[in-house]
A and B are shown apart, each in its own frame.
Chain A
Amino acid sequence: MKFSNLQKFLWALVAIAVIGLSGAAFWQKRPDTNPMIYSPPALVADFSLTDHNGNLRTDEDFTGKWLLVFFGFTNCPDICPTSLSEIAVVMDDLQEKASAVQPLFITIDPKRDTPEVLAEYVTLFHPAILGLSGSLEQIEQTGKSFKIFYEKLQQDQAPDGYTMSHSSSLFLFDSNGHFVRSFAYGTQASKIVEDIKSRL
């Protein structure tokens, strides 16, 4: 059997394809010696901050209570009051179970949001909400431990020339301080109440 040049060329292509495919199959079947183990870190509430009454507070102070944590800043006229109002409704609607839950509002703008400023802010929404502030470093550390994002944005049309963008989800921690879940911004208070009640 004689092959024309074209046939030789085509057979060569077939051979290359077979070698390539089997090689790919081999690589795929090869046991993964360095597997990427994906497991989300067990997030544990970890902070040391000053509350709106001027007392130093750490996560350990809240052992035994479920935590509902929201990050924000008081120069925020829309997102933060909306969320804090939702939290207020959640606390009211939890009724007798409300005492098991501690809502925390942690500022990501500690330069402006001193404990005194937080005191006149958070209490307007619900007496149970505790405001937490600290030094820039303490807030940075807290942000890292909660794995939240926040950023200062220069903006002419904002008080002091800046605004903050920030994670606006609500974070739920169990009575041992272990992360349970987050509620996306805008989750209805009734849904949050239902979820928390089912866990308590």
Chain B
Amino acid sequence: MINKLLILIAVTVTFVNIPAYAQTRDVTITRQWARASIGTMRPTAAYLTITNNGKDAVILDRIKTKIAAMAHIHNSTTNAKGISSMAPAGEIRIEPNQSVTLQPSGLHIMLMDLQRPLIKGDSFELTLIFENGQHITTDVPVLAISARGPKE
């Protein structure tokens, strides 16, 4: 009886967890690239597209990378008077079947306190951690400081 109950619990837990694993595969990262830095004293930026093919919205919680002690999503905006500024982006929520694109002049991952310079031709690992606990690690190629988008 106890065994049957345990099996029932185990089966239930497994099935409840399956959607979470499936979701991990449902979120994909594409078009990732970072801009080469000048040494380690000044910040640089990384860009990518997050696509949610799952059934539930996902919310990006934080970003981890060994290359920078601080990695935050910031947003650049330019107002009608032609004045640009940058501020933390707030919640990044990706609805099912939607993408969020981080690209120059808008959302970007600001990489600060660089642990080593980002040199053109190198690449580094970056992990996106979502509020539902899922982690996605991607390899980000470093392009020239004058790059304007990912390599096709």
Contact = CB atoms under 8 A, between A and B. Distances in A.
Interface stretch (B16-24, B36-44, B51-59, B122-130): B36-44
A158 B108 CA distance: 13
B86 interface: yes
Interface in A146-164: 149, 153, 155, 157-159, 163-164
Contacts of A191: none
Contacts of A124: 38, 145-146
A184 B87 CA distance: 20
Given A82-B104, A84-B146, A77 B44 contact: yes
A167 B86 contact: no
Interface residues of B, number: 30
Interface residues of A, number: 34
A159 B42 contact: yes
Contacts of B70: 157
Given A77-B110, A79-B105, A124-B38, A157 B84 contact: no
A126 B44 CA distance: 18
Contact of B87 (A120, A155, A169): A155
Contact of A159 (B35, B88, B112): B112
